[in-house]
Amino acid sequence: MTDAAELRSRAQEFLAAHPPATTERAAFLKARFDAGLAWVHYPEGLGGLGAPRSLQAVVDAELEAAGAPDNEPRRIGIGLGMAAPTILRFGTEEQKRAFLRPLWVGDEVWCQLFSEPGAGSDLAALGTRAVRDADTWVVNGQKVWTSGAHAARWAILIARTDPDVPKHRGITYFVCDMTDPGVEVRPLRQITGEAEFNEVFLTDVRIPDAHRLGEIGDGWKVAQTTLMNERVSIGGARIPREGGLIGPVAEAWRERPELRTHDLHQRLLKLWVEAEVARLTGERLRQQLVAGHPGPEGSGMKLGFARLNQEISGLELELLGQEGLLYEDWTMRRPATVDFAGRDAGYRYLRAKGNSIEGGTSEVLLNIVAERVLGLPSEPRTDKDVAWKDLAR
């Protein structure tokens, strides 16, 4: 079994053969993938070495110390955090080899075509249809809240392939080429004035059956892998102490004594402790992930992440007073990534409102934690055994 010393040696040998200062960025990243140092817990030939997930930190530390370029993980976060683990688990060998390398290197951006106007929180009620025509599927429907669709080449897509069975059973999972005819992306202007989200219209889009992930009708099972990884990637990202939104508030408190009040001090202390607890809980969750796939615990992390962000950004506005009402830019920008750290307090406050919706609404996540973590009884379901076509819409 590969151990830390062996991985450290491999990383050092790789750096000697590909000096970051003289190796072109794209060539360096491709060589890193081919050397198995991209994500070490993936199989050999797919960017990894079949090593324990925990040893990735050993490789990352060696490369970071040498000034190696990264693959801009924030820009390709949906691909790295959601598409890749789903492809690895359910994809064919051909799919894995076709998609994983350009995904990790950052040559191709991915987006997620899940939510719909009539099936947001109740994702399994989705109505986008995929009808088989020989070796292709013809897809028609509309998706919404699609982050980064305007910059994406590929999308992970779930569509209804059998309306005659209950809603969770008639769904199939596909990889959709966003450049195909019939794919139309329209911006959604958000409360921040920007449009990182989109609505996507699919009109007679033809997807080859070779781009189907998993079995026909098993899309909900496949999607659970995506969703669990999504919640971990949103709520369980590795951050340093005073990372995230608590950092700017703590910095303003230290540097601006004229803004301080007793009430704000007490609230800041409470939120600082909660942020630190969330950070350490995230570390423990990542250690648990070493043993297998993410489970419902990620939903709890994402739930806490949303609440904390909204409370902390609200406190920051109160601390800054009139300054907090200023907002730098209301123009219709189309950012490819979300940048909480490099923006002003007004942006953080407004953008944090979306944290309790994206990646699973807080209400849905509360149900998941209640039922799958705490073992509480499920809520009554009247649609569980009803064919999707017979549901009221």
Residues 325 and 344 both lie in one domain: yes
Least confident of 226-235, 275-284, 380-389: 226-235
Distance set, CA 390 to CA 6, 69, 121, 132 (Å)? 58, 53, 19, 22
pLDDT band at 338 (very low <50, low <70, confident <90, very high): confident
**Does residue 237 carry a pLDDT above 80?**
no
- pLDDT, residue 118, reads 86
Q: Which of 22, 47, 70 is the last residue of a domain?
A: 70
114 in any annotated domain: yes
Given a cut of 80, is residue 121 above it in pLDDT? Answer: no
Q: Of 217, 232, 251, at which residue does a domain stop?
A: 217
User: Across the strands, what pairs with 213?
Assistant: 173
**290 pLDDT above the threshold of 70:** no
Which residue's entry shows tokens 């599927």?
137
Which SS3 state, helix, strand or coil, does residue 198 take?
strand
* Shared domain check, 165 and 255: no
242 & 324 share domain: yes
- Which of 304, 286, 166 minimizes the C-alpha distance to 245? 304
Report which residue type is found at 279.
Answer: R
Highest mean pLDDT among 149-153, 224-228, 380-384: 149-153
- pLDDT of 341 reads 73
Do 271 and 286 have their domain in common? Answer: yes
Average pLDDT over residues 298-309: 85
Assess whether 149 and 234 both reside in one domain.
no
Q: Is residue 76 part of a domain?
A: no
Q: Give yes or no for residue 236 having a pLDDT over 70.
A: no
Decide which of 217, 235, 259 is a domain's last residue.
217
User: Is the Cβ–Cβ distance between 140 and 202 less than 8 Å?
Assistant: yes
d(CA 229, CA 219): 16
Domain membership of residue 319 (yes or no) is yes
Asked which of 5-19, 171-185, 210-224, 270-284 is least confident by mean pLDDT, the reply is: 270-284
User: Could you tell me the CATH number of the domain that includes residue 269?
Assistant: 1.20.140.10
pLDDT at residue 244 is higher than 90? no
Q: Are residues 20 and 155 in the same domain?
A: no
- Say what the pTM is: 0.88
Catalytic residue check, 255: no
Q: What is the mean pLDDT of residues 86-98?
A: 97
Distance from the Cα of residue 356 to its chain's centroid:
14
What torsion, rounded to 10 degrees, do the Cα atoms 232, 234, 239, 241 define?
A: -100
The mean pLDDT value of the chain amounts to 90
Where residue 292 falls among pLDDT bands split at 50, 70, 90? Answer: low
Centroid of chain to Cα 200? 18
Residue 323 domain flag? yes
Q: For residue 148, what are the CA distances in angstroms to 165, 192, 253, 342?
A: 32, 16, 34, 19
**Pick the catalytic residue: 116, 230, 297, 316?**
230
Average pLDDT of the residues in 40-64: 93
> Are residues 179 and 285 located together in one domain of the fold?
no
Considering only CA atoms, which of 23, 143, 154, 145 is closest in space to residue 76?
Answer: 154
Of residues 233 and 7, the one with the higher pLDDT is 7
- The owner of tokens 């750290």 is 341
Residue range 297-324: average pLDDT?
Answer: 89
pLDDT at position 238 over 90: no
Q: What is the pLDDT of residue 10?
A: 95
pLDDT recorded at residue 295? 63
Nearest to 88 by CA among 270, 275, 380, 294: 294
The predicted-structure confidence for 56-87, as pLDDT tens digits, reads as follows 989 999 999 999 999 999 899 999 999 999 99
Question: What is the per-residue pLDDT for 293?
Answer: 55
**Separation CA 83–CA 148 (nearest Å):** 14
Pairing status of strand 197-208 against strand 136-144: antiparallel
Question: Residue 92 has what pLDDT?
Answer: 97
CB-CB neighbours of 391 under 10 Å: 15
Shortest CA distance to 209 belongs to which of 176, 181, 170, 163? 176
Q: Are residues 337 and 230 in the same domain?
A: yes
Per residue in 357-377, pLDDT (tens digit) is 887 788 888 888 888 888 899
Please state the domain count of the chain. Answer: 3
Mean pLDDT of 238-249: 86
In a domain, 238, yes or no: yes
Q: What is the Cα–Cα distance from 101 to 99, expressed in whole angstroms?
A: 6
Q: What is the pLDDT of residues 14-28, one digit of tens each?
A: 999 999 999 999 999
pLDDT on residue 88:
96
Residue 370 to residue 20: CA distance in whole angstroms: 48
Does residue 213 sit within a domain? yes
Higher pLDDT, 365 or 351: 351
Domain that holds residue 295: 223-373
Mean pLDDT of 251-269: 93
